[in-house]
Amino acid sequence: MLQIENIRCGYKEKIILNDLSTTFEGKKIAGIIGPNGSGKTTFLRAITKALPLLGGRIILNGKDIALMSYKEIAQYIAVANSDIEASFDISVEDFVALGRIPHQQPLQFFENDYDWGKIEQALRLTDMTSFRKRQLSALSAGERQLAIIAKALAQEPKLLLLDEPVVHLDIAHQRHILDLIKRMHVENDLSVIIVLHELNLAAEYCDELRLFEQGRVFASGTPEEVLRKQMIETIYKTEVVMAKNPESGKPCVFICAKQRKLK
């Protein structure tokens, strides 16, 4: 569905992704993990053509994205970035309605019934219906993240990209949002690529993981295959303790304070 072939990508001063190749097949939740600066966010930007490639190519559903219009890409891929901020006051409902833009004709200025159906559905799925008239700026961080996901769902994507959707959220919200994503994935046949910093959440929710290091995919596979003590310690340069989640059996990564060890 999404093949990334030897891409080179980055900014003027610095190449971030160097000769990166990986393939996402089938309907799965794929997690991207890796240390800060390993190119996770840049990778997401490259997939949506927000950042031009300096080499290599990206094939989306059999088509080279370089040959696809932005609109075509947006009809297929939705991005739910948590750094979103509207410059003017906008209600949740109007915000979610923006997600319909890629599906509207150039001279279609107003949402039609089909658009409204999708907007309603997205609000319902994210439990945001009662917030629809509220201003986006007045929402709490958790509600805001739900609104952002609702907008992405209104976009009717086949592939959803999320960049750290649960950062700065408490565990209740973390679980709520990741459960929601998992449910969307199962019920709506949605593929998901999700950047996560929290390794234990990545292990719990993702079907497969890509471990990034210095602009390359260092390891890929199931959480059990990727989250191994030696691998984590090499990449993150930090000693860790591994265990298994007693409920789900997924791998867990613990860090221990240095002071304690010295004793």
- Contact between 114 and another protein by CB under 8 A: the answer reads no
- Contact between 164 and another protein by CB under 8 A: the answer reads no
- Contact between 233 and another protein by CB under 8 A: the answer reads no
- Binding-residue pattern over the window 116 to 135 for another protein, x denoting contact by CB under 8 A: x-------------------
- Contact between 72 and another protein by CB under 8 A: the answer reads yes
- Contact between 42 and another protein by CB under 8 A: the answer reads no
Tokens at residue 90, please? 């906008």
- Binding-residue pattern over the window 51 to 70 for another protein, x denoting contact by CB under 8 A: ------------------xx
Stretch that binds another protein, among 48-56, 189-197, 222-230, 241-249 (CB under 8 A): 48-56
* β-bridge pairing 53-60 and 216-221: unpaired
- Contact between 87 and another protein by CB under 8 A: the answer reads yes
d(CA 35, CA 45) in angstroms, rounded, equals 17
Give yes or no for a contact between 219 and 42, defined as CB atoms under 8 angstroms apart: no
User: Longest Cα pair distance anywhere in the chain, in angstroms?
Assistant: 70
- Contact between 11 and another protein by CB under 8 A: the answer reads yes
CA atoms within 13 A on the CB side of 169: 24
- Contact between 155 and another protein by CB under 8 A: the answer reads yes
Give yes or no for a contact between 95 and 151, defined as CB atoms under 8 angstroms apart: yes
Q: Which of 7, 16, 17, 74 binds another protein (CB under 8 A)?
A: 74
Q: Which of 73, 92, 181, 195 binds another protein (CB under 8 A)?
A: 73
d(CA 147, CA 104) in angstroms, rounded, equals 21
Which one, 90 or 231, has the nearer CB to another protein? 90
Which one, 101 or 231, has the nearer CB to another protein? 101
d(CA 183, CA 94) in angstroms, rounded, equals 24
What beta strand segments (E) does the chain contain? 2-10, 15-24, 29-33, 53-60, 63-64, 77-81, 159-163, 191-195, 208-213, 216-221, 240-244, 251-255
Binding site for another protein (CB under 8 A): 11-12, 45, 48-50, 69-75, 77-79, 81, 84-90, 93-94, 98-99, 101-102, 104, 106-107, 109-111, 116, 155
